[in-house]
A and B are shown apart, each in its own frame.
Chain A
Amino acid sequence: MFAFAGAIALAAGISLALWDRHPPDAGELLALSLPDLQGAKQPLAQWRGKVLLVNFWATWCGPCRDEMPEFVRAQHDLGARGLQVVGIAIDQPDKVASFARELELNYPALIATYETMDVAKPLGDRLLGLPFTVILDRQGKVAHTQLGPMKSEQLRSIIGKLL
């Protein structure tokens, strides 16, 4: 009986701990200003007021590349309704540029280092794993964070509620 109570308490504890560890504060993320493929600094705050999907990725990360066509489709279909996808690549600009051309990327690809990715730690990516995706509502509040690829239906459902 104690084992069951313990297991339930553990499950509850894990959920609470996870909730606690993700204070939904995107302040540091929105304060970033990163170079795009032309070298021009792009402050993330310029997209305030939109539903903002920030995807940390890299060309050497297979699962990252696999999910990106979904972001391209989402930007194409929902951009006019207020979605802005922004990719932050922990990578070399030439590799990012080459992949962006191949994929016909229709959203900004910004370049960053792992030091920059520290902003993802308080949002739930303690191991700095990729891909990591943060979805912010129009007020800049964190609506969803995810380590690992997003499923198409899940992505549409979360964004649909925010638009």
Chain B
Amino acid sequence: MQASGRLKSWIACAVLVIVAPAFAQNPLPPERAFRFSARMVDARTVEARFNIADGYYLYRDKIHFTVEPAATGLAVPSLPSGSAKDDPFFGHVETYRGAVVVNLALKDPKPGREVVIAAESQGCADIGICYPPTIQRVTVPIPEGSVVPPTAPEPAKKTWFD
């Protein structure tokens, strides 16, 4: 009985040794590695957030936001600084790990309607794999009867679309 117990432990170890690396090497699909979410924080501000899985990173200059319908208009501020790396080919490159949060301003929000925030991003995994650009869309309802404050001043002149 005891011997069989020990044998079981050995088998369990062997299975773990064989299976664990296979799981570790299986890269997450981009929408799970770089999970995007968005919510209204006031009548015209959308908090956009990427939650980045451990072992993955996003490129700062590959993040772009758009709003649908386009007529709503979106003001995108400067993204927070990432951790800087000197790339031998591209020079100064910034990346994010963990989470990135950006407050986007809707220029003409219609209370009671919905907008779709589309977030394009591109990143890599530390196991040595890079993903194609990925667009994730989140529908955000603008609360009924919300009082839209006067248009906020335009954010910093430079946006990601310049």
Chain A residues engaging chain B, CB cutoff 8 angstroms: 1, 4, 7-8, 10-11, 14, 58-66, 90, 99, 102, 114, 117, 127-131, 147-149
Contact = CB atoms under 8 A, between A and B. Distances in A.
B128 A11 contact: no
B129 A129 contact: yes
A61 B124 contact: yes
Nearest to A150: B128
A66 B12 CA distance: 37
B161 interface: no
Interface residues of B, number: 25
A148 B62 CA distance: 21
Given A14-B19, A99-B89, A148-B128, A127 B27 contact: yes
B2 to A, nearest CB: 15
Contact of B89 (A65, A130, A148): A65
Contacts, number: 69
A131 B15 CA distance: 29
A63 B124 contact: yes
Contacts of A11: 15, 18-19, 22
A147 B27 contact: yes
Contact of A90 (B29, B30, B132): B132
23 contacts: A4-B8, A4-B12, A7-B12, A10-B19, A14-B22, A59-B89, A60-B122, A60-B130, A61-B124, A62-B87, A63-B130, A90-B132, A99-B89, A127-B129, A128-B132, A129-B129, A129-B130, A129-B131, A130-B130, A131-B130, A148-B25, A148-B127, A148-B129
A130 B27 CA distance: 11
B59 interface: yes
The winner among A59, A66, A129 for most chain B CB atoms within 10 A is: A129
B11 interface: yes
Question: Which of B11, B15, B122 is packed against the most chain A CB atoms within 10 Å?
Answer: B15
Given A7-B15, A14-B19, A130-B130, 5 more contacts: A7-B12, A60-B130, A63-B128, A127-B27, A148-B129
